[in-house]
Amino acid sequence: MEEFITINRTKEEVELMSPLTWAYIGDAVYELYIRNKLINETNLKPHKLHIEAIKYVKAKSQAEKLNEIYETLTDDEKDIVRRGRNTQNHHLPKNSNVQEYMYSTAFEALIGYLYLTKQNTRLEEIFDKI
């Protein structure tokens, strides 16, 4: 059976993308991971699932998760994080400060990069740590 979602970019093409593009898809991948985890581990109703998911996907939580795993990242992954953190982004959400938002973008960029480059085993390892 063919994969439901396919990625049609080479690693070289992904590396040329903006870190904000990595963060864009990383945000979706991480939220889907959290939603699946909640559905598999709880019996909450949809509204409560949403409330619980927000606790994990908000900028402050993502920044904290990045801090927790940072020392376990490879040098290449730390470079992806640095690029994501330093990317110029003119959007700031209501409920976080600039530093939290920069680090949450870095976290999402890492998740997105690993996803787009099909490093699924590594992505699972990181999800297991958080």
Region of 37 on the Ramachandran plot (φ > 0 left; ψ -120 to 50 alpha; else beta): alpha
Any idea what DSSP says for residue 12? H
Distance, CA of 55 to CA of 4 (rounded, Å) = 28
- Annotated active-site residue in 27, 75, 76, 79: 27
Please tell me whether residue 109 adopts helix, strand or coil conformation: helix
128 is catalytic: no
List active site positions: 27
